[in-house]
Amino acid sequence: MTAAAPALAQAQEHRLDNGLVVLTREVHRTPIASFFIWYRTGSRNELPGLTGISHWVEHMLFKGTTTFPKGTVDKLIARHGGVFNGATWLDWTHYYETLPSEHLRLALDIESDRMANSLFDPAEVALERGVVISEREGNENHHTFHLSEELTAAAFRAHSYGLPISGYKTDLRSMTRDDLWGYYQSHYGPNNAVVVAVGDFDTGTLLKMVEDTFGAIPRRPEAPEVRVVEPEQEGERRVTVRRPGPVAQLSVAFHAPAAAHPDWLPLFVLGTVLSAGRSARLYRALVVTGLASSAGAGLALTKDPYLFRLSATARAETEPPALEAAALAALAQVAEEGVAESELAKVRRQLRAGHVFSTEGVTSQARYLGQYEMAQGWRAFDTYLDDLMRVTTEDLVRVARTYLVEKNRTVGWFIPCDG
């Protein structure tokens, strides 16, 4: 019998006059609090010629303000027993601090200050150019990076999801301090941001602190809207990457709906059916048979329609056509024969357990609330388990037949070659 998931306090939504959205959830199990600020900007908001700018701007906000010069924040957070970081993705950029709740005000002081007063010193911009280029080159040392980049670019003809989050090196070399500063000014206003706070605090007291620290920051002009809609794919596309590497790698991408679409969760569940554990469909079809050393499938939580991906790492002796045929046959089997109720029940238990374990800490709860808010609204996080139980075997067959079809797929291969 599966233990009941621990009840989480209801999250609350608030909004300042300058447009800043504030999500709070009190958790009083331990004297810890996590404070995130999410900006609705990522590689989705970029244009050709400025790829990687979201990531680079994220880096620049760690380079100091007049109040908190470079290196000060690191020392302050460590001195108060906390941790902090930031990240950039397709739909968002975020920063966070997790620390003893008695020191939560420090996080608000840091984040409100760099929202309004980051310096973008030209010398720091020049130094950081080398850092972001080096990060990209580090990624290029992994053969799967090249395959993923080429596959994604082939799958998207119009939407900016086809651009790399790390940016193209040609753009990173040509971007200017004015480009970065302009992007910061247009995307980092309070009206384009969401605060998420989870932990041991009183909501009323926290809201007063948020008003004190963020309330005076003026709204900025609305960030340019992303209006492009990816045209429907009308036939299979294929890419092959030939570079030095260990073994062949298969990746197949299917256009999939956005997180707010009712088919997103059935596709997410189907990804688990295909790839969760040694009893999963792809493991039995590809790994047990000796064709692959690993295999998986799934999709991400995104604001706009993105990709459902299947990946498999071939064994050295495997011929690529045999692996591809077996992988596609595993998908076709779901569409043709369906999924047993017992198989779906097992997957539900796996997903439920994973959800319970992954939401134990205040940092993970704040992260999930923010991710869902960026993609479709935070309330979907609170209803996730109930929504999961409503997914049926018929739903799994329907989404397999709708999305995992030849005209909707892009097939990519990494083929090792001599340097």
Say if 71 falls within a structural domain. yes
Question: Do residues 368 and 402 share a domain?
Answer: yes
CATH code at position 304: 3.30.830.10
- Decide if 227 is inside a domain: no
Q: Are residues 192 and 262 in the same domain?
A: no
- Evaluate if residue 1 carries a pLDDT over 50: no
**Domain C-terminal end among 214, 229, 251:** 214
Residue 116, in any domain of the structure = yes
Q: Are residues 76 and 142 in the same domain?
A: yes
Same domain, 253 and 207: no
Spell out the residues 6+ positions from residue 138 whose beta carbon is closer than 8 angstroms to its own: none
Please list the residues that pair with 237 across neighbouring strands: 410
162 plus 253 within the same structural domain: no
Task: Name the token pair of 272.
Answer: 């688990």
Let me know whether 244 and 377 are in one domain. Answer: yes
Alpha carbon dihedral 397, 403, 406, 407, in 10-degree steps, equals: 140
Amino acid at 269: V
The answer to whether residue 319 sits within a structural domain is yes
| Whether residues 406 and 269 fall in one domain | yes
C-alpha to C-alpha distance for 170 and 349, rounded to whole angstroms: 47
Q: What is the pLDDT of residues 197-238, one digit of tens each?
A: 999 999 999 999 999 999 999 999 999 999 999 999 999 999
Q: 341, 397 in Cβ contact below 8 A? A: no
**Given a cut of 50, is residue 285 above it in pLDDT?**
yes
202 and 242 assigned to the same domain: no
Structure tokens at 298: 């799934």
Count of structural domains within the chain: 2
Q: Using a pLDDT cut of 90, give the percent of the chain over it.
A: 95
Q: What pLDDT, in 10s, does the model give residues 304-340?
A: 999 999 999 999 999 999 999 999 999 999 999 999 9
Q: Answer yes or no: is 346 within a domain.
A: yes
- Model confidence pLDDT, tens digit, residues 95-147: 999 999 999 999 999 999 999 999 999 999 999 999 999 999 999 999 899 99
Cα(257)–Cα(244) distance, integer angstroms: 34
Point out the domain boundary residue: 214, 229, 246. 214
Residue 5 domain-assigned (yes or no): no
Q: Do 126 and 34 fall within a single domain?
A: yes
Same domain, 295 and 177: no
pLDDT at position 165: 98
Residues 186 and 264 in one domain: no
Both 270 and 343 in one domain: the answer is yes
Q: How confident is the model at residue 279 (pLDDT cuts 50, 70, 90)?
A: confident
Q: Which domain holds residue 126?
A: 12-214
In a domain, 219, yes or no: no
> Would residue 288 count as lying in a domain?
yes
